[in-house]
Amino acid sequence: MNLDIPYHLENYIGGNLIAPLSGKFIDNINPATAEVYGQIPDSNEKDVEAAVHAAQKAFSSWSVSPVEQRFKILNRIAELIDANLEILALAETNDNGKPLWLSKQVDIPRASANFRFFATGIMHFATESHNMEDKAVNYTLRQPIGIVGCISPWNLPLYLFTWKIAPALAAGNCVLAKPSEVTPVTAFLLSKICKEAGLPDGVLNIIHGTGPGAGEAIVSHPEVKAISFTGSTRAGERIAGIAAPKFKKLSLELGGKNPNIIFADVANSDVSWKKMLFNTIRSSFANQGEICLCGSRILVEETIYEKFKADFLQWIGKGLKVGDPLEEESKQGAIVSKQHFNKIMQCIDIAKEEGGKILCGGNAVKVEGRCTNGYFIQPTVIEGLGPNCQTNQEEIFGPVVTLQSFKTEEEALQLANATQYGLAASIWTNDISKANRVAAKVESGIVWVNCWLLRDLRTPFGGMKNSGVGREGGWEALKFFTEAKNVCIEL
Ligand code: NAD
């Protein structure tokens, strides 16, 4: 299999790599160097139409294929991702700006894990039966929906792309998938991997392009029966506006403004304190803070606020080198694009205007050598802002966190819940009853107690409030990608 990356990427439609029918392309930029290093199709409704035709042709056999066959093909895709880890990781880093070690340790292994997980999952996916004693028996069929659309963001490109595609394919659907136009390369390489793994032509179609162009053409096509979307709340609202009146099934995984609640008792043990600090550094700045699950609002009990602040800043100063993503010692790489870099810098300016005090960072970083024009920002910590200001309300999605203090458990909860978002929360305490009480009342779809980003793929994943609708993960994903049909037989 040839995994060379051509200058002009192509769509994957009906098993072929083809130039966009639109005839248009968009620049692809390496954010660490600011260089244009390729072009991607700027697809439109003609490309989507071609993909729908290919998917329709493939659906009649894929939808009734034995689960063993789907298992074997998806598992083979997982093996090929693992076998090409180095190539995929480098492509991800060049596209996204994240450190290469992170792409190798997290992004690419998780992409193969997604395929492996749903390959095996479909082998065990069972449906319910409801017996009405001697009157009747009901059984529920869960049949593939048909053609489904999967649209993913740039922050964890192959990781989130495959998180949607794998269950959709496992459940017997044909897929139209669009990666982010900002990070298209690993999705392009996945086309070749799927072909090599023997995925029948037309079962998966990968269309590159912008949200308003290719994305909306997928969402509005009448033959696309369900949309699984991960991205911003703004785009989610737009997509829901198009899809809901057409009664399409919708799963929306959107933005977050997650609280990280630290109770004073953590300071009683050196072990828990260090563990909390280590994970708070991760939850604040991992992947340049560009993870929807990052804890961007750190809430600290008043009695340990100064101690936390001092230790947190010291750890950041010692250990968080911002640098060339290809260098092993760089803990943080580049921000994904110039546009996003400008947005984050603007958010920092707004925080200052709102009266926030910059405790560390707040500036762009000049990285010498090949990265001199790249988009790098220092890890930034801000204090002195109340819960209602823009900085504590709107998602920044960068290496920027705020500190707020609280006096009581009730106040911690009030602060935690004081946003329109409800994706994830972390709670740090050695008091299990307190953790249990707070977890029950915090308004978020995911709660981590004394940990962060500890993921079990079987668990429900998703947000409440403006963080989304529906849940992914485990059976939830396979249920989303199937239509439940109850059959009642009178005896
Ligand atoms: P984005 O919404 O700009 O784009 C996401 C994807 O949607 C891209 O492929 C884009 O081309 C497409 N898109 C944009 N507008 C569209 C439209 N009108 N119709 C169809 N498709 C459209 O988001 P982004 O900037 O790529 O990613 C960052 C956002 O994603 C953040 O808000 C982050 O919190 C969120 N996110 C959420 C999760 C989660 O699981 N909840 C995970 C990762 C990222």
What tens digit of pLDDT does each residue of 307-348 get? 999 999 999 998 899 999 999 999 999 999 999 999 999 999
Alpha-carbon distance 353 to 347, whole Å?
Answer: 10
For residue 253, how far is its CA from the centre of ligand 1 (angstroms)? 9
Q: Indicate the top mutation candidate among 230, 461, 472, 476 to test ligand 1's pocket, ranked by most ligand atoms within 8 A of CB.
A: 230
Within a 13 Å sphere around the CA of 309, how many CA atoms are in the beta-carbon half? 20
Q: How far is the CA of 230 from the centre of ligand 1 (A)?
A: 5
Taking residues 151-174, report their average pLDDT: 98
- At the second CATH level, the architecture of 259-456 is 3-Layer(aba) Sandwich (3.40)
Query: pTM value?
Result: 0.97
Task: For residue range 47-58, list pLDDT tens digits in order.
Answer: 999 999 999 999
Is the separation of the CB atoms in 382 and 351 below 8 Å? yes
How far are the Cα atoms of 95, 156, 160, 170, 484 from residue 83, in angstroms, in the given order?
20, 20, 19, 21, 37
- CATH 3.40.309.10 range(s) for the chain read 259-456
Ligand 1: residues with CB < 6 A are 151-155, 160, 178, 180-181, 210-212, 215-216, 219, 230-232, 235, 238-239, 253-256, 292, 395, 397, 423, 463, 468
Per residue in 420-458, pLDDT tens?
999 999 999 999 999 999 999 999 999 999 999 999 999
Residue nearest to atom 39 of ligand 1 (CA): 253
Measured by CA distance, the residue closest to atom 13 of ligand 1 is 211
Across 323-332, b (16+ Cβ under 10 Å) vs e yields bbbbeeebbb
Is pLDDT of 3 > 90? Answer: yes
pLDDT beyond 90 at 305: yes
Ligand 1 probe mutation, 40, 155, 253, 294, most atoms within 8 A of CB: 155
Closest-CA residue, ligand 1 atom 20, reads 215
Instruction: From 98, 152, 164, 292, give the residue whose CB has the most ligand 1 atoms within 8 Å, as the site to mutate.
Output: 292
List all residues 6 or more positions away from 215 whose beta carbon is below 8 Å from its beta carbon: 151, 178, 209, 235, 239
When pLDDT is averaged across residues 291-316 and rounded to a whole number, the result is 98
pLDDT at position 285: 98
Distance from Cα 157 to the centre of ligand 1, integer Å:
11
Q: Topology of domain 7-254+467-490, per CATH?
A: Aldehyde Dehydrogenase; Chain A, domain 1 (3.40.605)
Please tell me the distance between residue 228's alpha carbon and the centre of ligand 1 in angstroms: 11
Per the prediction, the chain carries an average pLDDT of 98
- 3-class DSSP state for residue 49? helix
Q: Residue holding tokens 């994970």? A: 279
Dihedral angle at the C-alpha atoms of 11, 13, 19, 23, nearest 10 degrees? Answer: -90
Of the candidates 176, 139, 186, the residue with the CA atom closest to the CA atom of residue 9:
186
Residues with catalytic annotation?
253, 292
From residue 14, give the alpha-carbon distance in Å to each of 25, 190, 194: 20, 14, 12
Residue 375's closest CA among 346, 335, 348?
335
C-alpha 142 to ligand 1 mean position (Å): 29
On whether the CB atoms of residues 155 and 286 are closer than 8 A, the answer is no
Considering the chain, tell me which residue range(s) the CATH 3.40.605.10 domain(s) occupy. 7-254+467-490
Rg (CA), the chain: 23
